[in-house]
Amino acid sequence: MKILVTGGAGYIGSHVVRGLVSAGHQPIVLDDLSHGNSARIENTPLLELDLASAEAKDRLVAAFKENAIEGVIHLAARKSVGESVSKPEYYYQQNINSVNNLLFAMKETGVLNLVFSSSAATYGSPDVPSVDEDYNCKPINPYGETKLIGEWMIADSVRAWGLKAVSLRYFNVAGAGFKDLADTAVANLIPIAFTAIHEGKAIQVFGTDWPTQDGSCVRDYIHVSDLADAHISALEHLTKSTSGHTVLNVGSGKGSSVLEVIQAIRDVTKLDFVVEHVPAREGDPATLCADVSKIERVLGWKAKHSLQEIVASHWDAISQ
Ligand code: UFG
């Protein structure tokens, strides 16, 4: 299938693009290259465009027609939780206008298959050990709010004009499927920890008296290659379905604490480094883990990589 991948030159998007090519599909990337890098997508055609801009809808319509696009995987978004708190208007403008432009263009051209990159940030701070898709979402920051609103916009279009969609709620994505596609953003725990080690600084643990087994926060870490595979499965599921919006968690189903991640880094690298306990970060939920029974049932998809493999793949990629 000919698939438009928005945000395809980013860390996750570029893994999705390679996954599509391996599965025999023909991706076309749309990216504004503000965080993406065209080197990540090699010879895949690139449409350079800010999807939230005023011109985006018309340019999308033209691109859908010219390329005979059959489906869209929409990842392009602003995704820094902290930045979303300080610049909420920017996050709404970017993450909502982009979905809006996309839906207008898909409706106009009759492109009916959509995989949407949503987030576990839609849940907020759930009070259950593992959260399923029916849990009442109460996001606690503008980033999570924009992702939940994106899901609502999509659900409404599914009801109104026959769009078919899968929203994938990503948990904590990490690792590298290819050496040249590692996460260079240094915005999440594993890249932050490796950067600290590289610079001879301490790895900071945000909070040590959380109500968890070892007092540090628990998250569900998912290898980016497993996540990319989930997109391909979701797309293939859509092509077989006639209607509907399906929301699916994408996680490993296993929680790991910050201290366990740090231990995995120690085990994998055999390096000596300092760990510092610092006060808890504002807005962090104690535990955020996926109930993955629905995605296993609906897509037959299951995470294959362990936390050790996630850490090792990141280490391998940045050590080249
Ligand atoms: N942490 C530390 N020290 C650090 C960095 C992070 O202890 O230097 C802790 C955090 O407190 C948290 C865990 O490591 O408990 C993971 O933190 P990240 O910043 O890597 O990720 P978050 O869980 O805050 O958020 C990530 C994505 C969001 C997504 C969410 C879904 O950044 O976009 O996962 O689970 F919504």
CA of 40 to the centre of ligand 1 (A): 24
pLDDT of residue 242: 86
pTM above 0.75, yes or no: yes
Could you give the CA distance from residue 91 to residue 147 in angstroms, rounded to a whole number? 10
Here the tokens at position 188 are 């999440």
CA atoms within 13 A on the CB side of 89: 0
Q: 168 and 115 in contact (C-beta within 8 Å)?
A: yes
The verdict on whether 143 is a catalytic residue reads yes
Torsion of CA 228, 234, 236, 239, to 10 degrees: -140
pLDDT tens digit sequence for 49-100? 999 999 999 999 999 999 999 999 999 999 999 899 999 999 999 999 999 9
The structure tokens listed for 84 are 């979303």
For atom 16 of ligand 1, the residue with the nearest CA is 189
Identify the helix (H) or strand (E) that includes residue 15: helix 11-22
- Using DSSP's 3-state secondary structure scheme, residue 37 falls into coil
Ligand 1 atom closest to residue 170's alpha carbon, by position in its atom list: 31
Residue 29 three-state SS: strand
- How far does residue 219's CA lie from ligand 1's centre (Å)? 8
- Within 13 Å and on the Cβ side, how many CA atoms surround 103? 23
How many angstroms is it from 190 CA to the middle of ligand 1?
A: 9
Residue with tokens 């909420």: 88
Q: Which one-letter amino acid corresponds to residue 159?
A: R
Which residue out of 11, 91, 143, 170 is catalytically annotated?
A: 143
pLDDT tens digits along 290-305: 999 999 999 999 999 9
pLDDT digits (tens, 9 = 90+) for 8-48: 999 999 999 999 999 999 999 999 999 999 999 999 999 99
Choice from 79, 80, 81 to test ligand 1 binding pocket (greatest atom count within 8 A of CB): 81
State how far the alpha carbon of 126 is from the alpha carbons of 22, 134, 276, in Å: 37, 12, 27
Atom of ligand 1 at shortest distance to CA of 79?
A: 33
User: CA-CA distances (angstroms) from residue 116 to 6, 80, 153, 168?
Assistant: 10, 17, 11, 6
